[in-house]
Structure 1
């Protein structure tokens, strides 16, 4: 028994390093050859070299009817050529009904409602990382960096050329992908992994050249082989992106003007590794944050919208140790004030001085990531109300943020990772360090997975302390029925909040999941999946249940490609919440609960589509429940113009939560809370390189306290009739962005943005929507108008310009 178990574990951990020769021989292979000139990217394929090239044909359906051969009326013929500068892709995509080809025009990386063609390239042929390049029938571009561990990353952007045109027999795509956009080993004879992808949008059908078995969760390992690339001399990968920006900002009190200029640098250190650096960064045109009324014990987590911290960051996301919004974020202000002092001025943000990152992977599968950023010393102004004197106090010292990652891939589908994050602050301020070891192991046939981690944090402050976190999960990852079991343990003093984000510590959890899916269409569904989930979380100190949930959910696309889904949650135990009281060792007991929601989404192929999701959750305590609804209609007026409106209503009746504390008591309130969110997004595309976008959001949330309670030591609540401080909340925000973007040359962009925003918080409850909305805009509206120009300079092109000059 023990011997058999040992053999199984060794087979899981140390299955063969590469695919056997027999397996490689079963893969589809495409032969290419070298040409001695550049190809004109015009979607005509009229150069004689295209006629001589071998064709990749006989596509297979990936979704929904997995494994079914592509019909003859939708056949595809793909050819590949190369020279010393780039690889060229020519695709003839036949369609017996070309007038029905969908071709919505969108901005980059947005497919919209359009047919698309893609090529997936893996220069190391290791089955783990693809550089994916897509062209839509509307001549749009999308690209992403795909890894088997982290999936698709569309924030990655490369510079390449493409052209698409619709013909009387279908549509044609021509692509030029420079070697600077790819990674491959430095050797005379190249063997790359390759696959081709095609989506016929009106039929919601997806095809691949090399068949992909959806019983196995390993898309990239099922690619074909590209042979014939030999003796290429790759160019120097050096790109300079200078920019200039101007801002005019107007508030109720003043108007200000600001000019900025800077430089981004991208340099290929070698064939595997790239350096990215920003000098004098400018993030003034990033998307606004969706701020909410946060009554809970934890900070609100925001999405990262700054391009430097979103592009090509797959290595830095390992282990979820990096929350890049920490870099340049204003810390929680804890300013010590003397008698008769008040805060006169608080900085709006902390400026980033510079940042750089080095990332890449060598031919042995070793990935290396290094990120470093420095933020400037920042002060707030404090005024003495008696003497009138001002003084400065440091709210953030000069700070260095650092991330280092080593990620070794092997067996084409597994990896072991070491990651370290470090924050060093100048002077006697808090420093921190976190180190994690991660592993993600799959059997050779991608049928089982074992993954986990061990992380240790160290904080150096007035009191130094260490903590750790560990997890282990095992899963079956193939077939119609799949499952996962596992758990994690986090110690009380584990703290990665200086560069990461974590809300809860001092607990252990166990979880399980079983799911069923159809792999091919049935009589009623094109896709369908049913999930059963369970989760239990225990406090390490007391052993009490902190959180529990049993969940069943299902969803799928019917034969008309409308999505239908439902979700049901059941919490059969009292939960002991150690975080809501905001005081160590104290907890509040929350009752058992249950509820769920349904979700309907009509086919987006139709000009008018609708998403709707009502929800209802209740507790075992009478009169304490939540309900809400989200409604989002969308309308596509034409291939150029579309609009999406969304309305979200949330009602919480007799919600119980923390409101205040003093030296003797912790106060809770039973409150009614209503939240309304209206948002509108619209785009008008002149062509795939020139777009107007409108984004509007109005958020209003109010919480009215009905009864005040004192928290008892046993977690129960006792009504308090003496507390009389008003802790009601009425909060509203407004944001509007109207932007114009023109990609006037590859990698070069002009952006024009008009933005206005406002926010308002008070303790007076006013249930009138109109008066709240009017007061929000009347007194607080801020305006910003900005123009930004970025110009992409390829060193190789610039060198040729100089030669001609």
Structure 2
């Protein structure tokens, strides 16, 4: 081969790489005329705007240019209030465009168009806005490997399906974004188009999947200059009415309150709730919890889910602590009983401030106050009733300082503080975090140092530290980390942490394809090793080797296989429920399979069998998850889930008495049934049904005493009944109408009940009959929220 030929090939490869790695730039055009958001794009000003086109496939065939018959053209305009986006999405078979109507933030089986905006162009966080071909909106805050769809902005969009494809028109107010005060703005920008029937996604600026980081691979939006943004002040008053009825009686409650959102400047926002009302949030999934740890609950209250990405840094913030269960139990005499113990504490008010400067410095501050709460205690001999404080007036504070730099790295400081009035327990926890990436996003170094301090009858401090390194690009990737957690590390007043007093070593290696093969659209295999050792006894509490395989077939069915070996004798330091004690755990192997059919089909099915085999007395756990779903049309769909587990010869704590710590060998069964249905009247009005029946029992057949060695010896004298039978029923039927941007009317009928018993009933039909014959509670509620933009009101008056 001649030198000239070699040079030519080198130049071709170099310039091809440069073309792919170079960021595309789009010029936004300034306007003064009004734009009507109707999905028609018929204003003349659109004709003179610059065009973003030549989309490239993101997945599955990364880097493949979009075909001409599915070309996509996007334009951007702006004024002092908002940016305007128009997209023409060509399709040579418009009758095949998927258009399932869902409620907000649910993607469903639809084609989608989205815009990713990073107002600081720092490669760290996107504001993402999606519109489906059915006109349904979705939005989220995105950082690498995480999209927060609980965040909801107020913006406008319309969709039209045409003979050549479909059209999207969007208006995104500056109030929904964050950006610098610079006179000339430079934003990170990308557009994504999803063609659902082909299971393909395309982006305007190519995203190379060999590189782990997605956000830094955005293009550039320029041209926004000298904007005078309006005052960002929004008021959201609400009013709600509740009627509750049970065998005890009935009750009617009326509530009214106000949410406030105020833009301190273009970068920082204040959110406040006065007289909060969370009566229509999703119900919690009650379970039979026999574990040594509390049940970790999902957060469904909008204030604590929207825009809380900053507060989640460091893992010190578990928002269900605020307004959760009381922190103490009242002391009672032998002749006294507790007749009323509130399960939750009322939230009085809450406020949060969050944002980021043009130099990448982020600040998050959250404060919440809960009210003084008392339990009622009855003296059975005298009939005297007294009340005792179980949770005083409590103040919760979160502070986060986060500095981003070099497009993809950050250093953060986090502080969580809980202050209770009077002589109750106070707590403080702090964390210093770093997340450093190379300029090319090929390697990552991360770590933290966390410190906790508890002020109670006996004060104590603790700490946790971790460091890790990972290769984050290419087909072959790897990572390893080490962790140390001290004995007294405790962040459970405002955070949640179950394990302490151990050190850990973890390593993994993975391989993935970035383009389809003759068998798979996507394929990834990951192998890992994980060891945890107790600091005090030096005994192993975890020792596992695992393999995970995830793949998508050419027919877009999903396959996953997991196997984990624990070939070592380990010890559980938490199940005995007593400090310094531990119990032996036998060797085991765990395996699971996950299969999901292509969700483009009207009928879809998810099947997930699993098995754990222990090296002990026929001790096994097997389970299966099955979820069929049927989509009748673009408006109506139903789904069912059965999640079943059967544990034979499980061993767990049941009691502690003067003879020691008592364990039981037991059989357990758990069956959770979920039924959901959706009917969409249009893209702003839906009827939704959610029903859940949960049944679980624990039947003991042999008792043991825990020895100091961690092993169990038979106990033939213990005879108390520690069997458990648990039934829980929830039924929600709701109607939701978003009658204006940010404004909603919702009607909810709720029916629920819960039963606990010490006599096990294994007949499922009898359990169902029992829960429906119990004292079920019925609630009917109506809530109205109305979004008021200060600028709109000001202009009218």
TM-score, scaled to structure 1:
0.96
Partner of residue 115, structure 2: 119
1:132-157 alpha-carbon deviations (Å, 9 max, x no partner): 11110000101111123x62111111
Answer yes or no: is 1:730 the counterpart of 2:722.
no
Q: 1:622 Cα shift?
A: 3.1
Query: Does the alignment pair 1:171 with 2:166?
Result: yes
TM superposition shift of 1:334 = 2.3
Residue equivalent to 2:463: 468
Q: Tell me, yes or no, if structure 1 residue 442 matches structure 2 residue 425.
A: no
**Quick check: 338-347 or 779-788, which moved more?**
338-347
- State the Cα RMSD in Å: 1.1
Q: Indicate the residue corresponding to 1:374 in structure 2.
A: 369
Are 1:524 and 1:559, in contact at CA under 8 Å, matched by a contact in 2? yes
496, 501, 520: which one aligns with 1:501: 496
Alpha-carbon distance between aligned partners in 2 of 1:664 and 1:745, rounded to the nearest angstrom: 66
Distance in 2 separating the partners of 1:664 and 1:579: 19
Q: Provide the C-alpha distance between the structure 2 equivalents of 1:712 and 1:183, rounded to a whole number of angstroms.
A: 60
Is 1:74 equivalent to 2:70 in the alignment? yes
**What secondary structure does 1:505 align onto?**
coil
Q: Is the 8 A contact 1:760 1:780 kept in 2?
A: no
Aligned partner of 1:433 in structure 2 is 428
What's the CA shift for 1:333? Answer: 4.5
User: Are the equivalent residues in 2 in contact too, given 1:252–1:779 (CA < 8 A)?
Assistant: no
Deviations 1:406-462, CA, capped at 9 Å, x for gaps: 000000000000000000000000000001000000000000000010000000000
CA displacement, residues 673-695 of structure 1 (integer Å, 9 cap, x when unaligned) = 01111111111111111011101
Partner of 1:275: 270
Render the CA deviation track for 1:56-104: whole Å, top value 9, x for unaligned: 1100000000001011111001011111111000000000000000000
- Could you report, residue by residue, the CA deviation over 1:322-363 in whole angstroms, capped at 9, with x for unpaired residues? 000000111255221123211121224211000000000000
Aligned to 1:37: 33
Report the Cα distance in structure 1 between the residues aligned to 2:272 and 2:81, rounded to whole angstroms: 25
Q: Tell me which stretches of 4 or more aligned residues in structure 1 moved more than 2 Å.
A: 22-26, 331-334
Deviations 1:743-772 (A, max 9, x none): 000000001100011111111011111111
Partner SS, residue 771 of structure 2: helix
Could you tell me which residue of structure 2 aligns to residue 47 of structure 1?
A: 43
> 2:590 and 2:317 mapped to 1: Cα distance?
34
Deviations 1:174-196 (A, max 9, x none): 00111111111112211111111
- Map 1:284-303 to 2 at 5 A: 284-303=279-298
SS in 2 for 1:339: coil
Going from structure 1 to structure 2, the CA distance change for 1:23 and 1:461 (only over 3 Å counts) comes to farther
Instruction: Report SS of the residue matched to 1:99.
Output: helix
Task: Return the offset for 1:663.
Answer: 2.6
Q: How does 1:27-176 map to 2 (within 5 A)?
A: 27-148=23-144, 151-176=146-171
Give runs of aligned pairs for residues 411-560 of structure 1, distance below 5 A: 411-560=406-555
| Matching of residue 692 in structure 1 with residue 701 in structure 2 | no
Contact 2:326/2:345 (8 A) holds in 1: no
**1:789 maps to which residue?**
784
Q: Which residue of 1 aligns with 2:15?
A: none
Q: What TM-score do the two structures reach when normalised by structure 2?
A: 0.97
Residue 229 in structure 1 maps to residue 224 in structure 2: yes
What's the counterpart of residue 760 of structure 1?
755
- 1:38 and 1:83 in contact (8 A); partners too: no
- Deviations along 1:604-647, one digit per CA (max 9) or x if unpaired, are 10000100011111111131111111110000011001111011
Provide the secondary structure at the position in 2 that maps to 1:779: coil
Write the distance in 2 (CA, Å) between the matches of 1:111 and 1:335: 48
1:185 is aligned to 180
Q: Give yes or no for contact 1:267–1:276 (8 Å, CA) kept in 2.
A: yes
1:526-563, Cα deviation, whole Å (9 max, x unpaired): 01110101110000001100112111110111000001
Partner of 1:743: 738
Given candidates 562, 567, 574, the residue that maps to 2:562 is 567
Rounded Cα–Cα distance in structure 2 between residues aligned with 1:750 and 1:91: 31
- Cα gap change, 1:333 to 1:700, in 2 (>3 Å): farther
> 3-state DSSP class of the match of 1:509?
strand
Q: What does 1:582-601 align with in structure 2 at a 5 Å threshold?
A: 582-601=577-596
Following superposition, the deviation at residue 774 of structure 1 comes to 0.8
Residues 564-587 of structure 1: CA distance to partner in whole angstroms, max 9, x if unpaired? 111111001111111111111111
Q: Which residue of the partner structure matches residue 5 of structure 1?
A: none
- The separation in 2 between residues aligned to 1:729 and 1:66, in whole angstroms, is 53
Name the SS of the counterpart of 2:769 in structure 1: helix
Contact persistence 1:645–1:680 (CA under 8 A): yes
2: CA distance between counterparts of 1:669 and 1:79? 68
Assess if the C-alpha contact under 8 Å between 2:20 and 2:206 holds in 1.
no
What is the aligned partner in structure 1 of residue 340 from structure 2? 345
SS at match of 1:319: helix
Tell me the SS of whatever aligns to 1:190. coil
Alignment of 1:705-716 (within 5 A): 705-716=700-711
Q: List runs of 5+ in structure 1 lacking aligned partners.
A: 1-21
Secondary structure of the corresponding residue to residue 49 of structure 1: helix
Find 1:643's aligned residue among 630, 633, 638. Answer: 638
